[in-house]
Amino acid sequence: MSKTTVFTGTGVAIVTPMNRDGSVNFEKFRELVEWQIENGIEAIIACGTTGEASTLDDDEHIAVIKAAIEQARGRVPVIAGTGSNDTSYCVDLSLKAKELGSDALLLVTPYYNKTSQRGLIAHYNMVANEVKMPVILYNVPSRTALDIKPETYAELAKNPYIVGIKEANSNVSSMVKTAALCGDNIDLYSGNDDQIVPILSLGGKGVISVVANVLPKKTGDITRRWFDGDIRGSCALQLELLDLINALFSDVNPIPVKEAMNMMGMNVGPCRMPLYQMDENGRKALADVLRRHGLIA
């Protein structure tokens, strides 16, 4: 079978808004999905790290994915975060996401118990072969303490269902080796907003973005300009947004991006504990950056 490119351009790792009592605010979530699509985003990634998947129970997890699919109505692909450190649970959750109509899965590496590189190959191949739908691997060793090696990517790229990589290991040399080993057998997406252009320069297909939660159109313009041949303009936008990107990662994601959205009047509510609100110095510094970008008065 030929592999599917799930999307080209900018996908948003969308936040999960909460009510004051800590429950999921589905009305606001649907508003956010609609706003993202209206502003030209090319994919919605639901229940990822930024969506606080780790503190959603199973019913909420499924309901958030379902809401994203229903609101998107096929206008852009919806990628469901269903990764786990329990392979059988990952299969079960992924099958539920498939039944709902997800276009692809985002599968983070097993965390805490971790595994070996051989274990990663077995884990991902088992999930992909059981679920039989497009899978994007998600490598974020700063959170999982487990890094997918380029040689492991090359082996996993042989699986017809494993179609993409969200790379957030921040190691450009490793990304270069991955691109060299995998070629066109797997699509590469930046998992870090400050490395969109470097990933594109390696033949990458785009970004799964946090900053797009507050600036979807301008973030999307980085990839649109690149693919339109305006390399200089794409690079300029990447550099223009660097201070905002850094501000949105000045505390544990998604604490700052939710704080920023609340400052902008988007009313996405708090993060669930153990994620905790920023201190006053952090909030002031974040607000200063948002003002520089014209996002708040």
For the annotated catalytic residues, the residue numbers are 138, 166
CA distances from 59 to 16, 20, 24, 62, 169 (A): 14, 19, 11, 5, 31
ω into residue 254 within 30 of 0, thus cis? yes
Helix/strand/coil percentages in the chain, nearest 5 = 50, 15, 35
How far is Cα 178 from Cα 175, in angstroms, rounded to an integer? Answer: 5
How far is Cα 56 from Cα 49, in angstroms, rounded to an integer? Answer: 11
| E strand or H helix that includes residue 281 | helix 280-292
How many residues are given for the chain? 297
Query: Which residue is associated with the tokens 């999982």?
Result: 144
CA–centroid distance for 73 within its chain? 20
How far is Cα 230 from Cα 227, in angstroms, rounded to an integer? Answer: 7
| E strand or H helix that includes residue 98 | helix 87-100
